Amino acid sequence: MISLVGNGVHLSTEVGQSFERINQDIATTAALVSEIASAMQEQNAGTDQILQSTGAMVEASNVIRDTAAVQQQQNLALKEAVARITASFEVIRSGAQTVTIDAHKIEETVARLEAFTENNNAVVDRLAAVVQAMGGPTMKDTP
């Protein structure tokens, strides 16, 4: 019986040691679960920050898209304005060429009129000389 009691004491000691190891393992597991819970809270905070950043990026993308659309409309309006200015310039250039051509024609006409006037003056002078040679009145005698 003593050996049975000794065996029982030994088994009780082993069971006590096992319970102690189990308690230590439970404490370690509880600490690990606490660390996991803390890490999950940090992950949740990080996820919230990512969601906020994503929302801000979506908002910025919308602003960029709207700005690009406005820029596109302004570029189209600018192209149309440049086309109108170019067309107006062509009209002005054409008009200037016409004016230049007309100015040359006027210069030519004035030169011909001057030559015609000189020719007429020469004819009048000859006629006056003929009339005077015939004894007719001079230009000074006519009113």
DSSP structure string for 74-105: HHHHHHHHHHHHHHHHHHHHHHHHHHHHHHHH
Three-state SS at 107 = helix
Which pLDDT band holds residue 41 (cuts at 50, 70, 90)?
Answer: very high
Rounded Cα gap, residues 131 and 123, in angstroms: 12
**Residue-level pLDDT at 10:** 82
Q: What is the DSSP-derived secondary structure letter of residue 50? A: H
Over residues 44-68, the pLDDT tens digits come to 999 999 999 999 999 999 999 999 9
**Sequence spans of domains, the chain:** 1-100
pLDDT in tens, 62-107: 999 999 999 999 999 999 999 999 999 898 888 888 888 888 888 9
Fill in the amino acid letter for 93.
R
CA dist., res. 64 & res. 80, Å (int): 24
Percent of the chain with pLDDT over 70: 94
- Of 95 and 142, the one with more pLDDT: 95
* pTM over 0.85, yes/no: no
pLDDT over threshold 70, residue 140: no
> What pLDDT score was predicted for residue 66?
92
